[in-house]
Amino acid sequence: MTRTRSGAARAAVAGVGVALLLTACSGDPDDGSATSTSSTAASAPTSAPSLSDFPALPAQRAEPLPDTVSCAYPSDGRPAAKPVQPPRAEAVPTTDTDVTVATTQGDIGLALRGELSPCTVGSFLSLASQGYFDDTDCHRLTTDPTLSVLQCGDPTATGTGGPGYEFANEFPTDQYAAGDPQAQNPMIYPRGTLAMANAGPGTNGSQFFLVYGDSILPPQYTVFGTIDETGLATLDEIAAAGVDGGGPDGPPAAPTTLTAVRTD
């Protein structure tokens, strides 16, 4: 999934055979802070890909992180969709945290994995504590067989909003050396994955996507948590209602608003 950057930030989330436009502060799947330039989506292959053709996303880092890390959250040069302060950048813990995202369609429980992507988790928790996600609509549902995601985290519900800062990709992108062509090879982001939308490396902001069906993407979208069974049941109901106006990609027909994010 890739995101565009300009005043109308759009993220082209390209799986293998489907292009998903996701917006974010800066990052591929929409994170809510992107401005829009133009992004190009991968061309559809001549034959539909099969999930069995792709490797699974790794479950863990090759080497564990220390107990705390330093992060960087520089300005992205755009106004925040809601007034917020950047997260703490020093002594960020690499611990896991459980949260519940309350929505108008039901609760979605998340296990935020600080041992994988601590800077992403730190940003998400900071935004949640400031009420950034409260009363915001999930603006994009994709129901393609190879890309099944719900995208949220943009207070403007346009795919262009973000927190006014951006940060680097973490797991699994950082498991590859710079310039390694393997980092562009699609793999399976399994059902139950929580990941960041972006418009390219280092452009993560506030938009994130929830994977309710195994999806094919290059390892360029930071994974920072998993979705519990209750949350997956909620997502299945949203997906079953389809996309507003029909088709495989667009606003969910079952309007889904995040009402609060609570730490469990």
Domain map (residue ranges) of the chain? 12-36+94-263
- Choose between 26 and 131: higher pLDDT: 131
Which residues have C-beta within 8 Å of that of residue 185, sequence separation ≥ 6?
218, 219
Q: What percent of the chain has pLDDT over 90?
A: 80
pLDDT tens for each residue of 81-92: 999 999 999 999
pLDDT averaged over every residue in the chain = 86
Backbone angles phi, psi at 81, to 5 degrees: -65, -30
Q: Give CA angle at 41 (40, 42), nearest 5°.
A: 125
* CA–CA dist 211, 166 (Å, integer): 22
Which residues have C-beta within 8 Å of that of residue 6, sequence separation ≥ 6?
35, 36, 37, 38
1-15, 102-116, 124-138, 198-212: segment of lowest average pLDDT: 1-15
pLDDT of the residue at 74: 98
pTM of the model: 0.86
By C-alpha distance, which of 132, 118, 100, 110 is closest to 206?
132
- Alpha-helix residue ranges (DSSP H) falling in the chain: 118-129, 229-241
- How many residues would you count in the chain? 264
Which pLDDT band, with edges at 50, 70 and 90, does 188 fall under? very high
pLDDT of the residue at 139: 98
pLDDT of the residue at 48: 65
2-6, 94-98, 197-201: segment of lowest average pLDDT: 2-6
* CA–CA dist 221, 170 (Å, integer): 8
Within 10 angstroms of residue 128's Cβ, the number of other Cβ atoms is 19
- Residue range 25-36: average pLDDT? 36
pLDDT tens for each residue of 95-124: 999 999 999 999 999 999 999 999 999 999
- Place domain 12-36+94-263 in its CATH homologous superfamily: Cyclophilin-like (2.40.100.10)
* CA–CA dist 99, 90 (Å, integer): 22
* CA–CA dist 59, 230 (Å, integer): 21
- Residue range 170-175: average pLDDT? 98
